[in-house]
A and B are shown apart, each in its own frame.
Chain A
C-alpha cells in the first residue's frame, strides 16, 4: 500500500510555476500518484516529501531565504537524515547552491547546500545579452528513452545568465547527463547537466522548453528512491 508521496518545488522565488506545470504533465502522463507542493516553509520538509526541485531565479535571493529561520540547516538535515534519501534537483540557481565549490559569489559570500562534487561559476555564460538557446547532447539512454513522446538524442538547452560547470571532481561518481558543444572558453563538449547519488543539477532551464524528459527522469528517480527493490 503506497502512502501519499509528495514532490515539491522550492517556491521562494523564480520560475517555480513552470516546474510545477511540467511535473504535473509528467505525473499525469506516467499515471503516477504523486502530490505536488510549493515549498515555502521548513515544516514542509518532512518524510512524505520524496523529491525537491530548487528552481532558477536569483541565487542571492535564495540565499536570503535560506538564512531565514534556519531554513538552510533544516533543508540539509532533511536531505541527510531522511532514509532513503530524497532526490534533489537544482536548475541554474539550484545548481549553484548544490555545488561544493562556487566561483563569483556576491561580495560577502553566499550560503550553500553543497553535495555535488563540481566547481560552478556564477553567471559564467554572461549577462542577458549573452544568454542563448542551443541543442544539447543527451548522454544516457535513460534520459533519451524516459518519456513516451520524445526520443531524440538532443535536448533544447535554454541558458539565461547561466552558471557554468567548470570542473568535476573525478572519482566521486558524478555522471554527466547532457553536454554542450562548441562554446568558446569551455572544453568541447562540456557538461551542463550532472547527477551524483540522489542529487541532480543542470545549468540550463528545461522547464522553459516543451521537452519534459528531464522532469520525467527526475520523477522516475524519485519513484525509484522511494521504493527500493520494488522496481
Chain B
C-alpha cells in the first residue's frame, strides 16, 4: 500500500459531490445485500422490514411488463416520491436505455441510483446515456465482459447481470422438451451406396473405433498443453482482445489486473429462492436484485426475509436449508408463454 491519499477535493479542500468515488460508494455499501423491486409504498415498507438494503421503485414488475407487452417507460414521479417518503433505505428507479431526459428527471427527484434498464422499452437504438455527465450513479445490465466494460466506460457505477424476468419455468420447460426429443439436425448426413455386408460393417466399425481413440488421445494432449500454457494474456494479447470485444483497453487491463470488474456486480433476473441467491453469491456476485420473485410468491414477507438472510449466509448450507423450509409457492401465476422477445439482447447498435 503506498503513500498518499487520492481524493478529488478542490484546492481549498471543499467538498466534492458526484465524483466516481462517491457514486460507486453507494454500490459498495449495498454489497452483500438484496435489492427488491417494489410497486408501492406498502411493498417498500415490507422490503425495509425484511432487511433489503435498497428498493427499486417501479409501476410494474418486469414479469408483468413482459406479459403486458407494449411500451414501458420511466415510472410516474408521484409513485417514486411516495416510495422515497415511505422508507429510510436507498431508492432506485429505472429509465429507458438512452433516455437521458428521464434520467435528468429522476436525478431531480433525488433517487439514489438510476437503473438504465433493458426491461423498459429502449428509447435509443444507438446510444446509451452518457452517465459521466450525471451526479447520480447508474447501474446497467450486461451479459458479458464486453457489454459490462462498455457500460463502465460510459460511466456506470454498478453492473448487474441481465436475466430474463420471471421466466425460469419457461426455460426449464423448453430445455426439457429439447432433451427428450433432440433434433441434432447438424449430425444428419446423406449417404450413398449399397447395403453393406456384415463383414464390411464390422470392418467399418473397427476403423471408426480406432479413429475415435486417436482423436481422444490428441484432445487429451492438447488439453495438457493448454493447461501448461500461462493462462493470462500479455499486453499485446490484451490489445487485440479489447478490439475483439469492443472495449477500451485500459478498462480491460484494469479488469485483468484485479481479476474482476472494476465496479460492484449484482445478479438479477429470475431469482426466487434462497438456493438461487446462494448459487449466484458462490459464483462471485456482490449481491442480488430480486423482482417478481418475492411479491408474486404466495408468502412475500417470509420469502423476502429468507432471501435477505441467504445473501449473508450464502456459504452456510445448514442455514440455507433452514431458510428454504416452508416458504410457500415461488412466483405463483407467472405467464409461461413462448418468449417472443429476449430482453438480454437489448443494447444499442453502436456497440
A contact residues vs B (CB 8 Å cutoff): 11-18, 25, 29, 40-41, 56-58, 60-61, 63-65, 68, 92, 104-108, 122-123, 127-135, 149-150, 152, 154-156, 158, 160-161, 181-183, 205, 208-212
Do A133 and B15 touch across chains, with their CB atoms under 8 A apart?
yes
CA of A92 to CA of B29, assembled, Å? 10
Across-interface contacts of B312 in A (CB, < 8 A): 11-13, 40, 65
Instruction: State A132–B7 Cα separation when bound (angstroms).
Output: 11
Interface segment, one of B107-115, B145-153, B163-171, B339-347: B107-115
Question: What are 26 A-B pairs with beta-carbon distances under 8 A?
Answer: A11-B32, A18-B28, A58-B29, A58-B90, A60-B48, A60-B88, A61-B308, A64-B309, A92-B29, A127-B110, A128-B111, A129-B17, A129-B136, A131-B17, A132-B15, A132-B16, A132-B22, A150-B5, A154-B5, A156-B7, A161-B26, A181-B13, A208-B28, A209-B5, A209-B6, A210-B2
Q: Which of A127, A134, A152 is in CB contact (< 8 Å) with B16?
A: A134
Residues of B within 8 A of A57 (CB): 29-33, 53
Q: Given A128-B90, A210-B2, verify A61-B53 contact (CB < 8 Å).
A: yes
CB distance from A145 to the nearest CB of B (A): 14
CA of A160 to CA of B113, assembled, Å: 12
The 8 Å CB contact of A209, one of B7, B48, B313, is B7
Interface mask (B65-109 → A, CB under 8 Å = 1, otherwise 0): 000000000000000000000011110000000000000000100
Give Cα A149–Cα B3 distance, bound, in whole angstroms: 5
A133 to B7, CA, bound (A): 8
Contact B137–A58 (Cβ < 8 Å) = no
Chain B neighbourhood of A92, CB < 8 A: 29
Among B4, B17, B52, max chain A CB count under 10 A is at B17
Q: Cα distance A152–B29 when bound, in Å?
A: 27
Question: Is there contact, CB below 8 Å, between A15 and B4?
Answer: no
Q: B1 touches which one: A25, A122, A156, A182 (CB < 8 A)?
A: A25
Given contacts A61-B52, A65-B51, A161-B90, contact A205 B13 (CB under 8 A): no
Q: Report A-chain residues with C-beta under 8 Å of the C-beta of B52.
A: 61
Given contacts A57-B29, A160-B26, A182-B14, contact A149 B9 (CB under 8 A): no
Q: Would A154 and B29 count as touching, CB distance under 8 A?
A: no
Main secondary structure of the interface of B (DSSP, over half): loop
Taking the closest CB of chain B, its distance from the CB of A71, in whole angstroms, is 11
Pairs A-B, 9 closest by C-beta atoms? A64-B51, A128-B112, A134-B15, A156-B7, A160-B25, A135-B13, A132-B15, A13-B32, A149-B3
B19 within 8 A of A: yes
In the complex with contacts A17-B31, A127-B110, A152-B5, A158-B90 CB distance below 8 A: no
- Residues from chain B with a CB closer than 8 A to the CB of A107 are 45
Cβ–Cβ contact B48 & A208, under 8 A: no
Contact of A150 with B53 at beta-carbon distance under 8 Å, contacts A104-B88, A128-B26 already known: no
Give Cα distance in the complex from A13 to B50, angstroms. Answer: 13
Distance from A120 Cβ to chain B, minimum over Cβ atoms (Å): 14
Among A60, A65, A128, residue most surrounded by chain B Cβ atoms (within 10 Å):
A128
Given contacts A134-B9, A161-B26, 14 further A-B contacts (CB under 8 A): A11-B312, A14-B53, A41-B316, A56-B29, A61-B308, A64-B50, A129-B112, A130-B17, A131-B25, A131-B26, A133-B22, A156-B5, A161-B29, A210-B6
Which one, A14, A63, A154, contacts B13 given CB within 8 A? A154
Tell whether, in the assembled complex, residue B135 and residue A58 are in contact, meaning their CB atoms are under 8 Å apart: no
Which residues of B have CB within 8 Å of A18?
28
B3 neighbours in A (Cβ, 8 Å): 149-150
Interface residues on B, range: 35 or more
Q: Counting chain A CB atoms within 10 Å of each CB, which of B4, B25, B48 scores highest? A: B25
User: Are A212 and B112 closer than 8 Å at their CB atoms?
Assistant: no
- A-binding residues in B (CB < 8 A): 1-9, 13-19, 21-22, 25-26, 28-33, 45, 48-54, 87-90, 107, 110-113, 135-137, 305, 308-309, 311-313, 316
Compute how far the CA of A25 lies from the CA of B15 in the bound complex, rounded to whole angstroms: 28
Chain A contacts for B29, CB-based, 8 A: 14-15, 56-58, 92, 160-161
Write out the residue numbers on chain A whose beta carbons fall within 8 Å of the beta carbon of B54: 58
Chain B residues in 8 Å Cβ range of A209: 5-7, 21
Contact indicator B51/A63 (Cβ below 8 Å): yes
Q: Which of B5, B31, B53, B136 has the most CB of A within 10 A?
A: B5
Complex CA gap A130/B23 in Å reads 11
Q: Could you tell me if A212 and B33 are in contact, using CB atoms closer than 8 angstroms?
A: no
Flag if A133 contacts B9 (CB, 8 Å): yes
Neighbour of A134 across the interface among B1, B13, B31, CB < 8 A? B13
Interchain CB contact (< 8 A) of B5 among A25, A56, A211: A211
Q: In whole angstroms, how far apart are the Cα atoms of A56 and B53 in the complex?
A: 11
Q: Is the Cβ of A128 less than 8 Å from the Cβ of B113?
A: yes
| Shortest Cβ distance from residue A188 to the other chain B in the assembled complex, whole angstroms | 13
Judging by beta carbons under 8 Å apart, are B88 and A129 in contact? no
A38 to B25 CA separation, bound complex (whole angstroms): 21
CA distance A71 to B165 in the complex (A): 35
Q: Which residues of A contact B33 (CB under 8 A)?
A: 13-14, 57-58, 61
Can you name the residue of chain B whose Cβ is closest to the Cβ of A209? B5
Closest CB of chain A to B18's CB: distance in Å? Answer: 8
